[in-house]
Amino acid sequence: MGKNAAGKQELKKVLKTRDLVIFGLIFISPNSAQSLFGGLTTSSHGHGLLAILVGLVAMIFTAFSYGKMASIVPKAGSTYSFATHALNPTIGFIAGWAILLDYLIFPMLVYKLGSSFAVEMMPFMPLWLMLFIFIVPMTIFNYLGMKVSKHLNLIMLLLKLLSVTLFLGFAIHALTNGVGAGHVVDLKGIFDTQTFSMNALIAGSSIAVLSYIGFDAITALSEDAQVSGKTVGRAVIITCLISAGLIGIQIYFATLLHPDFTTFKNPDTAFYEIALAAGGSSLAIMTTILLNITGAATALAGQASGSRVLFGMARDGVLPSFLSQLHPKYKTPVNSVLLLAVLGYIGALLIPIRLFFLIVVFGALIGFIFVNLAVILEFYIKRKERNGGQIFFNFISPLLGIAVCIYILIGMDATGKIVGVSWLLIGFLFLAVKTKGFKTRLKLDSLSENL
């Protein structure tokens, strides 16, 4: 069914708890450490693992908040829906608009990274063609719906775990034979007094946060899920913790294999050099192939969740209504999927990877702040749930989530801030037109039926 009893457009419920966790792991991606390593280690001055841990601390508080809100607002839209429900439609729009920057940019980044690694291995292939090869199949899968995509996700997750296992095995063998630091256990894989800088660590953490962004995408699929909102929330936490462990251990060994972060030939594809050092050209080629295949699946997840945010906002009437159109058979937001595909191709073709790293986290952090605020207002103030552990989860945890997000925002590169603020200003202008110069309130088409 594509409509509920009241005639509202609804997504098809096909996902179970396992599917949600797999989806989250696909989006966060256990082998994202391989594609992010160059930017992460250079920005953090060789302290990639510490940056990953700071990112986890930043995100775990916010992950709790997403879980809380998903338990009471199990609908497409995620950040937008949560802020609209607990705060108000205007703030909800700004929160949704902010997180859209993340969902627009993230697939572009993944496509660009995957294509760049592929071109590194096959220099005879032009980037524009490689991007096309990446984007078209993933768009078709999203067009057909989550029932088809969830089967692909399981296969892709197994391939991602294979990639991680291969690298760890070769890395341990190489280190024990004197490559890089020459030790499997070495403090310099975590902390180096000669290169440590708090500003660099915070800059690296803003990239590390990118490793965890997939957890909020799980809640964007609440309306596709057969399970309760509380179960969706648990899937968020499980995904964050598993991903942190798998990503962190790869960063640690990669740092030991190449301790000098200043000597990479190309930081964008630094892990290719790491793989060469660990296992020669065979491992480098195998890692690149797996990274390209599974990277496409990460973009698939990003496109899927982003299309749900566009769908949720369009269904409420705050974005053009054509974005809420569902396919008559597959019940997928086809126009939202196609729009993200077109923008993803153009952006990946034209925007440098370094710029993606600088801007992609801004929108996510702004959205996270609003969701944390939503938890405090909804549970601590409105519902007055303040007994025992409720104080931590309903007030202290979201407050810490807000503080860490603000701290990372302050430490971000100026370019990221400029692009992010500019995006928010465009949103405010759009909202001003929508509300006739803020003289009228936003009236959501589905407010009474879905909140």
Q: Which residues pair with 3 in a beta bridge?
A: 9
The count of structural domains within the chain is 1
Q: Do the domain assignments include residue 426? A: yes
As a whole number of Å, the CA-based R_g of the chain is 21
DSSP 8-state secondary structure symbol assigned to residue 381: I
How far is 269 from 287, CA to CA, in rounded Å? 12
Tell me, what's the pLDDT at 237? 82
DSSP 8-state secondary structure symbol assigned to residue 15: B
pLDDT band at 285 (very low <50, low <70, confident <90, very high): confident
**Taking 50 as the threshold, does the pLDDT of residue 5 lie above it?**
no
Among residues 106, 79, 104, the alpha carbon closest in space to that of 93 is found at: 79
Mean of per-residue pLDDT scores for the chain? 82
Q: Which has the higher per-residue pLDDT, 214 or 64?
A: 64
* Run of H or E residues at 347: helix 334-350
* 3-class DSSP state of 225: strand
Most confident of 103-107, 131-135, 171-175, 217-221: 171-175
- The CATH code of the domain that includes 190 is 1.20.1740.10
Q: Do the domain assignments include residue 86? A: yes
Tell me, what's the pLDDT at 4? 47
pLDDT band at 202 (very low <50, low <70, confident <90, very high): confident
The helix-helix angle for 32-43 and 89-121 (nearest 10°) equals: 100
- Helix residue ranges, H only, 122-213: 127-144, 146-176, 198-208
**Taking 60 as the threshold, does the pLDDT of residue 6 lie above it?**
no
Lowest mean pLDDT among 64-73, 79-88, 300-309, 381-390: 300-309
**Taking 90 as the threshold, does the pLDDT of residue 370 lie above it?**
yes
**Taking 60 as the threshold, does the pLDDT of residue 157 lie above it?**
yes
**Taking 60 as the threshold, does the pLDDT of residue 435 lie above it?**
yes
Tell me, what's the pLDDT at 11? 58
| CA geometry: angle 23, 408, 104, nearest 5 deg | 45
The helix-helix angle for 17-28 and 270-315 (nearest 10°) equals: 130
pLDDT band at 394 (very low <50, low <70, confident <90, very high): very high
**Taking 50 as the threshold, does the pLDDT of residue 419 lie above it?**
yes
Among residues 225, 217, 302, the alpha carbon closest in space to that of 18 is found at: 225
Q: How far from each other are the two terminal CA atoms of the chain, in whole angstroms?
A: 20
Q: Do the domain assignments include residue 11? A: no
Among residues 351, 262, 358, 296, the alpha carbon closest in space to that of 118 is found at: 296
Structure tokens at 260: 């000098």
- Give the residue-averaged pLDDT of 245-266: 89
Tell me, what's the pLDDT at 7? 47
**Taking 60 as the threshold, does the pLDDT of residue 449 lie above it?**
no
**Taking 50 as the threshold, does the pLDDT of residue 68 lie above it?**
yes
pLDDT band at 385 (very low <50, low <70, confident <90, very high): very high
**Taking 90 as the threshold, does the pLDDT of residue 376 lie above it?**
yes
- Give the residue-averaged pLDDT of 337-366: 85
Q: Do the domain assignments include residue 114? A: yes
pLDDT band at 240 (very low <50, low <70, confident <90, very high): confident
**Taking 70 as the threshold, does the pLDDT of residue 392 lie above it?**
yes
pLDDT band at 214 (very low <50, low <70, confident <90, very high): low
In the block, tokens 């809380």 appear at 68
What lies within 8 Å, CB to CB, of 289 at 6+ separation is: 121
**Taking 90 as the threshold, does the pLDDT of residue 373 lie above it?**
yes
Amino acid code (one letter) for 297: A
**Taking 80 as the threshold, does the pLDDT of residue 284 lie above it?**
yes
Q: Do the domain assignments include residue 81? A: yes
Per-residue DSSP letters for 231-299? Answer: HHHHHHHHHHHHHHHHHHHHHHHHHHHS--TT--S-GGGHHHHHHHHHHHHHHHHHHHHHHHHHHHHHH
Q: Do the domain assignments include residue 387? A: yes
Structure tokens at 16: 């179970």
- Give the residue-averaged pLDDT of 48-57: 87
Which domain range does residue 241 map to?
17-450
* Run of H or E residues at 99: helix 89-121
Answer whether 210's CB lies under 8 Å from 360's CB: yes
- Helix residue ranges, H only, 351-446: 353-375, 390-391, 397-411, 414-434
Q: Which has the higher per-residue pLDDT, 58 or 352?
A: 352
Answer whether 261's CB lies under 8 Å from 243's CB: no
Q: Do the domain assignments include residue 289? A: yes
What distances in angstroms separate CA 353 from CA 102, 211, 357, one per listed residue?
A: 14, 15, 7
Answer whether 277's CB lies under 8 Å from 258's CB: yes
CA atoms within 13 A on the CB side of 20: 32
**Taking 50 as the threshold, does the pLDDT of residue 277 lie above it?**
yes
Among residues 155, 117, 170, the alpha carbon closest in space to that of 285 is found at: 117
How far is 237 from 251, CA to CA, in rounded Å? 21
In percent, how much of the chain has pLDDT > 90? 17
What would the pLDDT profile of 8-31 be if each residue is shown by its tens digit? Answer: 555 566 567 777 777 778 777 777
- Dihedral over Cα of 361, 119, 128, 298: its sign: negative
Q: Do the domain assignments include residue 389? A: yes
pLDDT band at 331 (very low <50, low <70, confident <90, very high): confident
- Give the residue-averaged pLDDT of 190-217: 81
**Taking 90 as the threshold, does the pLDDT of residue 289 lie above it?**
no
Based on the number of CB atoms within 10 Å of its own CB, is 260 exposed (0-12), middle (13-18) or buried (19 or more)?
A: exposed
